[in-house]
């Protein structure tokens, strides 16, 4: 088999149009890896070597594991995305596929594991928080990776943790969870902040990519 005939490694994702320029640069050093966007292209779990859950609108009420007293607080709900991400995540977890979950993605991971969300919080959706690394974090000693300050913009956050999810970092000012991982799992790391918006977060993508490469070389569950 020639090098050109080797199939690419596939990372499945669902990406809003506003994020299309942010993620690919982190994968450019790895031409063997291909991102497939479930929003525009069909993908099967059997093809995947990794799952990337990105930011976006709020989870629709029928997928939440909690009541929604005031649906008007929900922003940019996309049920088609929920119908793709939640089943895909459950299949990925069953196959032990490496997972990187960002902002909404961390919330989807938490809800899938049985957790709940704060449905509307203040102080985390200011314009400067979208791109400036201005929010200081505190970390547990057992953490996957650490950044002193992050660029976290959102109006929802983790409340009750899903089964197996463990906090790695929280906002110093108000204790909002900013980083968590799934214990006893090969690699499932979630951040409430947005590493795709700044090249200084490349190490977090490197962690994920190295796990994708390892997974691709290991026997996969059929």
What tokens appear for 101 in the block? 């979950």
Domain limits for position 205: 3-216
221 in a structural domain = no
Three-state secondary structure call for residue 96 = coil
CA-CA-CA-CA torsion sign (112, 63, 116, 36):
positive
Computed from CA positions of residues 215, 217, 219, 222, in that sequence, does the dihedral angle turn out positive or negative?
positive
Q: Which pLDDT score is estimated for 222?
A: 47
Show the DSSP H helices in the chain as ranges.
Answer: 24-27, 79-95, 104-112, 127-131, 202-216
Cα distance between residue 73 and residue 69, in whole Å: 9
Q: What is the pLDDT of residue 129?
A: 62
Matching residue, tokens 């900013």: 178
Confirm whether 61 is domain-assigned.
yes
Do the domain assignments include residue 88? yes
State residue 140's pLDDT score.
87
Q: What is the CATH number of the domain that holds 156?
A: 3.40.50.880
Would you state the structure tokens that stand for residue 186, as one six-digit string?
């090969």
Residue 140 lies in a domain: yes
Cβ–Cβ under 8 Å, residues 47 and 8? no
Closest among 198, 196, 193, 199 to 179, alpha carbons compared: 193
Look at residue 105 in the predicted model and tell me its pLDDT: 98
Number of structural domains (the chain) is 1
Would you write out the chain's pLDDT as a tens digit for each of its 222 residues? Answer: 345 567 899 999 999 999 999 999 999 999 999 999 999 999 999 999 999 999 999 999 999 989 999 999 999 999 999 999 999 999 999 999 999 999 999 999 999 999 999 999 887 766 666 677 778 999 988 899 999 899 887 899 999 999 999 999 999 988 999 999 999 999 999 999 999 999 999 999 999 999 999 999 987 644
Q: Is residue 200 part of a domain?
A: yes
CA distances from 126 to 12, 58, 110, 120, 151 (A): 30, 17, 24, 14, 10
- Flag whether 222 is in a domain: no
The pTM of the full predicted model, rounded to 2 decimals, is: 0.93
Q: How confident is the model at residue 199, as a pLDDT?
A: 95
What pLDDT, on a 0 to 100 scale, did the predictor assign at position 135?
86
| pLDDT, position 61 | 96
């Amino acid at each position: 088999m020639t090098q050109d005939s080797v199939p690419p490694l596939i990372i499945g994702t669902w990406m809003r149009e506003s994020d299309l320029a942010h993620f690919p640069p982190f994968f450019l050093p790895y031409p063997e890896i291909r991102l497939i966007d479930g929003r525009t292209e069909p993908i099967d779990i059997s093809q995947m070597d990794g799952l990337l859950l990105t930011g976006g609108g709020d989870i629709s009420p029928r997928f939440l594991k909690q009541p929604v007293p005031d649906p008007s607080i929900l922003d940019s709900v996309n049920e088609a995305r929920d119908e793709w991400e939640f089943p895909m995540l459950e299949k990925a977890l069953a196959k032990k596929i490496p997972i990187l979950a960002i902002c909404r993605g961390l919330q989807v991971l938490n809800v899938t594991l049985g957790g709940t969300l704060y449905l509307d919080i203040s102080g985390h959706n200011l314009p400067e928080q979208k791109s400036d690394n201005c929010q200081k974090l505190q970390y547990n000693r057992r953490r996957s990776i650490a950044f002193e300050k992050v660029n976290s913009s959102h109006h929802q956050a983790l409340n009750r943790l899903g089964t197996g999810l463990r906090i790695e970092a929280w906002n110093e000012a108000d204790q909002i969870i900013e980083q968590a991982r799934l214990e006893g799992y090969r690699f499932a790391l979630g951040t409430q902040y947005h590493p795709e918006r700044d090249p200084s977060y490349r190490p977090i993508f490197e962690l994920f990519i190295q796990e994708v490469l390892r997974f691709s070389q290991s026997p996969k569950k059929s």
